[in-house]
Amino acid sequence: MNSINDSGVVAGLASGQRSPTHRLGGLAGSGLVAALAAVVATTLGAALAQAVGVDFEVPDGGETIPLAGFAVVTGVFSVVGIVIAAALLRWSARPAERFVWTAGSLTAISLVPPLLSGATTATITALLGLHLVAATVMIPTLARSLRTRAIHDVSEASSCYQGESK
């Protein structure tokens, strides 16, 4: 049986509630700030490693990874992390928990290529460290942002239900 609401009132967000666009915008904003921090941290880390003698030469093709390459790859995969976090915020009941598991698993997988590259021990160690630097910046920031938004959503839902029962 369908019920019809003919009061002429269009249902909208309750007072104080955030729209889904606002929630995603806040996540994207904090994620982009974290991505910028991760880009700076990994690029500085790579520059420091080069300064102490790490060559970042990958034997397959014999090319050296440029500093700009660290920045670009960190930026791209940080944005991928933001997209994953946004999807989980939208479709998961526990977005922060799911994000930490997903990002942790993807970070672990990302450690395999340097190990298989055939590069020098110094290069492999530096690459592994740089992967972990980026993950250390991005994962906690996005998880915290997801928790904040999920908690806010739960408290809003709770206050809506309390308001209806009066």
Over residues 42-51, the pLDDT tens digits come to 999 999 999 9
Higher pLDDT, 115 or 59: 115
Confidence (pTM):
0.79
Under the banding of pLDDT at 50, 70 and 90, the label for residue 10 is very low
Backbone dihedral angles phi then psi of residue 143, each to the nearest 5 degrees? -65, -45
**CA neighbor of 24 nearest in space, from 71, 114, 84, 100:** 84
Higher pLDDT, 131 or 25: 131
CA atoms of 20 and 26, how far apart (whole Å): 10
Would you list the domain boundaries of the chain? Answer: 20-154
Instruction: Kindly tell me if the per-residue pLDDT of 107 is higher than 50.
Output: yes
